[in-house]
Copies of this chain bind each other. A is one copy, B any other.
Amino acid sequence: MKMYGNWRSAAAFRVRAALNLKGIPYEEIFLDLDAGDQHKPEFRKINPQGAVPAVFVDDGPPLMQSLAILDYIEDTHPQTPLLPADPRARARARSLAQVVACDTHPLYTPRVRNRLMEAYELPRERMLEFLRFAFEGGLKTLEARLSGEPGTGRFAQGDAVSHADLCIASLWVGTGIFGVDTAPYPTVKRVAEACLALDGVARAHPLKQPGAPTQ
């Protein structure tokens, strides 16, 4: 597989972590999103949306959208399952993943941040209020569900890592990058850290990829 990604992309992180956990070899080409690589004509031919990740699995068009790519990997590489076999548990794992991938992450992408600043002439600090609103909405929902629903175990769904954890971990890393207060979310923290401690996930960490700031 050949993946177009970026160190900071939460979506690329999820896919990279799944490939590592399953031991699937891949090559990653890192775009410089700050330099606008994603908007260049040669990348728009790959993904008209100008977004990463885009993953080539054969000679056809690339796969896009992190959750769709995770499902494809699951369908074609069932070893080390990253979704429960039981439909009810699968639905819960998927819904927790989607709290992040649908309702939270899309609200703080560079596309949205830039639009808010440009269209409403907002200074960066006021735009960041919206970013924190996005994170807090997701984190509050996750804390309420993870602490209140019986399905939570060592990981978000039971005792095996799943797509839910990969998405939660990607959100958790974002709280560090953007300085979001995480004190009110102890259950999310526990689950995210259990996932981030796995070797395949740790190796996929955004701050360990080419282009990331040195700490």
By a beta-carbon cutoff of 8 Å, the part of chain A in contact with chain B is 48-49, 51, 57-58, 60-61, 63-65, 67-69, 71-72, 75-76, 87-88, 90-92, 94-95, 97-99, 101-103, 105-107, 111-112, 115-116, 119-120, 122, 126, 129-130, 133, 137, 140-141, 144-145, 148-151
Contact = CB atoms under 8 A, between A and B. Distances in A.
Contacts of A149: 61
A207 B111 CA distance: 32
Given A95-B63, A149-B61, A90 B75 contact: yes
A18 to B, nearest CB: 13
A87 B72 contact: yes
Given A102-B102, A106-B102, A120 B122 contact: yes
B107 A112 contact: yes
Among all A-B residue pairs, the 5 with the closest Cβ atoms: A48-B144, A68-B94, A72-B91, A65-B95, A68-B95
A187 to B, nearest CB: 12
